[in-house]
């Protein structure tokens, strides 16, 4: 099974479809082992694909490819709410891993690449501001009634504030929160 997932990851990279992997399109979906439906299992996808790829290759272009793929989904992915949701979670998990790198310098994330997510934060903030009404109505994933009274908006605000206030940014908290 892992070899097959490795092949899928390699195809995403070779076919310049990292954006499709990030949003968890069917072929690129990383299975989650939990009770809550998600568009992509970002924690597993990051640890098993992104981090492992980085550790094995040290591909100097990869960090910027990741940023470009996040910007691409925020600019043009047809399901706007899905794009916003996954981009926010990718930024959150990346920043969480960077914080672990600092607190556990010999740990799993010790050699994690560092890349500026400022452009992603600006695009994400803008999309949050533009799509607030739709996000409030969207009850998929963490926007379900089990977790939110305001659809995806409430969990996205928690994520944005957590990234800014606890993980050192970047700041994508919308002005109209």
Residue 172 included in any domain: no
pLDDT tens track for 127-156 = 999 999 999 999 999 999 999 999 999 999
Looking at the structure of the chain, the number of domains it has is 1
Residue 71 makes CB contacts below 8 A (sequence gap 6+) with: 119, 120, 123
* Cα–Cα distance, 118 to 40 (Å, whole number): 23
Residue 173 included in any domain: no
Residue 84 included in any domain: yes
pLDDT tens track for 14-64 = 999 999 999 999 888 876 555 678 999 999 999 999 999 999 999 999 999
Domain containing 110 equals 2-166
The whole-model pTM stands at: 0.95
What is the distance between the terminal CA atoms of the chain, rounded to a whole angstrom? Answer: 42
């Amino acid at each position: 099974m892992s070899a097959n997932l490795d092949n899928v990851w390699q195809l995403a990279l070779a076919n310049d479809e990292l954006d499709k992997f990030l949003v968890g399109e069917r072929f690129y979906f990383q299975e989650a082992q939990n009770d809550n439906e998600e568009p992509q299992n970002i924690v597993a996808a990051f640890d098993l694909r992104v981090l492992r790829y980085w550790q094995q290759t040290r591909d100097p272009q990869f960090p910027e490819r990741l940023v470009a793929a996040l910007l691409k989904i925020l600019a043009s992915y047809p399901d706007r709410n899905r794009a916003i949701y996954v981009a926010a979670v990718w930024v959150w998990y990346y920043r969480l891993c960077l914080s672990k790198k600092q607190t556990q310098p010999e740990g799993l994330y010790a050699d994690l690449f560092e890349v500026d997510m400022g452009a992603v934060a600006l695009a994400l903030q803008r999309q949050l501001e533009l799509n607030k009404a739709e996000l409030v109505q969207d009850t998929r994933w963490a926007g379900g009634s089990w977790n939110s009274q305001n659809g995806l908006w409430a969990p996205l605000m928690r994520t944005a504030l957590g990234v800014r206030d606890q993980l050192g940014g970047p700041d994508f908290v919308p002005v109209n929160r």
